Amino acid sequence: MAEKKSLGKEFTKGLLIENPVLRLVLGTCPTLATSTSMVNAIGMGISASIVLVLSNIVISALRKVIPQKVRIPAYVVIIASFVTIVQMLVKAFVPALDKTLGIYLPLIVVNCIILGRAEAFAGKNPVIASAVDGLGMGIGFTAALFCMSLIRESLGAGTMFADAQNILSLFGDNVLNGFNGINLFENAVHLQPMTLFILPAGGFFVFGLLIALANKLSAKKGLPKAELHGCEHCPMASNCSKLAEGKEEATV
């Protein structure tokens, strides 16, 4: 029973308590870049979640075999292998999504959420717990992306689930009678989308609002606020050459 409760806690912590985007403030670059569209956000979230779960499983299974001194390069190789597989599958089955995500799909390799969980959790815990941790964090990442894209696309482009067939085509032709999104301003005469929300400035604005909301909900649970920390708080800080150079300059 204790193990079940522990696994349940590992899963749910990624949803709010340790949400990688809104609480740990990780993966900001893909979050801002792909959240202009709900379809892109869902595609990125699912892809990253698959890589996160699989890489956590393999890294956890090999944690006693991988030498401590080369663990980060080993983690990157494992993660890159799964990213390559996922990218090839996306190109084969949903090429339109691969085209819209562009460079951000292969950049999952260096997503700090995945590297962070590998270093902070998978490399120190059993396989099942690592898989559950990866699944919870992946769902939390996807949920944060979805919430941001819901606000940004609906207000900035005036649509919801635009180009939905990019993903739905995976299940066959004309799924849901060819549903390809909703135009919220189609019948509105005097209303126009606020383009600002799909621009970088709008992305940061919505990002800040969601972090504030996450802090508000967390405060009710007695949790500390999400804070932006320096590089020394990164899980890879001990292996970062930039930090090492900074320390050397500080001692000169």
Q: What is the per-residue DSSP string for 19-31?
A: -TTTTS---HHHH
Is position 36 within any domain?
A: yes
Q: Are 148 and 203 in contact (CB under 8 A)?
A: yes
Identify the CA nearest to 162 among candidates 208, 198, 196, 189.
198
Is position 44 within any domain?
A: yes
Tell me how far CA of residue 120 lies from CA of 19, 127, 142, 146, 186, in angstroms. 15, 14, 20, 25, 48
Is position 130 within any domain?
A: yes
- The per-residue pLDDT for 7 is 83
- Report residue 227 as tokens: 């804070």
- The per-residue pLDDT for 100 is 86
Residues of the chain with pLDDT under 50: 1-2, 5, 230, 233, 250-252
Interatomic CA distance for residues 149 and 156, integer angstroms? 10
Burial class (CB in 10 A: 0-12, 13-18, 19+), 250: exposed
Residue indicated by tokens 């260096």? 110
- The per-residue pLDDT for 223 is 67
- The per-residue pLDDT for 181 is 82
Residue indicated by tokens 């800040």? 208
Is position 205 within any domain?
A: yes
- The per-residue pLDDT for 209 is 93
Identify the CA nearest to 14 among candidates 149, 145, 138, 148.
138
Interatomic CA distance for residues 156 and 184, integer angstroms? 11
13 Cβ neighbours under 8 A, 6+ residues apart: 136
pTM: 0.83
Identify the CA nearest to 10 among candidates 145, 140, 144.
140
Interatomic CA distance for residues 10 and 61, integer angstroms? 18
Is position 59 within any domain?
A: yes
137 Cβ neighbours under 8 A, 6+ residues apart: 14, 18, 20, 52, 113, 117
- The per-residue pLDDT for 2 is 42
Is position 247 within any domain?
A: no
Q: Give the number of domains in the chain.
A: 1
Burial class (CB in 10 A: 0-12, 13-18, 19+), 15: middle
**One-letter amino acid of 135:** L
Is position 204 within any domain?
A: yes
Interatomic CA distance for residues 133 and 137, integer angstroms? 6
Structural domain boundaries, residue 150: 2-183+192-226
Is position 159 within any domain?
A: yes
